[in-house]
Structure 1
């Protein structure tokens, strides 16, 4: 990794999916990247609550309390132009983060400049709201598929075990945390190529 360390921005909020924030953060740090974790109305030293989503044979995922996830940068002082890539975990946070116009402007910057964007599970809800999926292929948790299609994107159906990732140019997406190995591998490959 010598010389290829990147500055990555991670957008989170309360009830972000625990594994989808914690594990990618740890994996990216292990690879030598710098990751700034931010949340609207939060600053460095704050934290967000997480939720653990599991697949236990019900018609949808179950939800349990997770850990606290540390915020290490101030959202209000954020300069997105100083980052090389963006990562958007899933969980319940995207459903309300997408209502924040500043969040959408940040996402549009990464899309407009073709910097790597990684989104997982419900994270693509923010991409939908930012208007950056028209004509793009995108995977997500299956419940988000109709939203992707409604804005002119092509929903990529995940594998049965939700463990696949999909790459479309600068965009790498996946359906849920079981895809972490494939998703982060594909994201790392994008980071290495930029």
Structure 2
């Protein structure tokens, strides 16, 4: 689908607002019938926390998790926005993903005709169980949002996209994401 230039400009403005920390609902997606696209390249500068953390949840978390690579975080995003990946798998890629199951089903349906979203993840920093990386999202038409910080949480021995990060992706697909 091709959207009017005004809509495309609005999507960039909305993405910039997200990048500035104003998570807005109903971000406008850039659309195309083009199903081509390649994975963006990644770079990383990682730092890690120094000590074990007591999360107060009764579990011994031991040392801080190994820092994720930019490529592993990028792969997480690519899996979430790949319509060939089942919703059952996607709920395990997002913090509290089961609570977003119905929205992920909507996302998979929309992505059937909107393939080729790419990501560039860079400047990964880790603070305890939270990783933050500058992330650039580019539509299949080549329109991209400015780099924005996205976060992942270390859970169940893996790095999962934060709920707020999932809401950003859902917002680009024009799927409202009420905070749960």
Asked whether the two chains share a fold, i.e. TM above 0.5, the reply is: no
Give the number of the structure whose alpha-carbon radius of gyration is greater: 2
Higher RCO (CA-CA < 8 Å; seq separation 6+) = 2
Greater fraction of residues in strand: 1
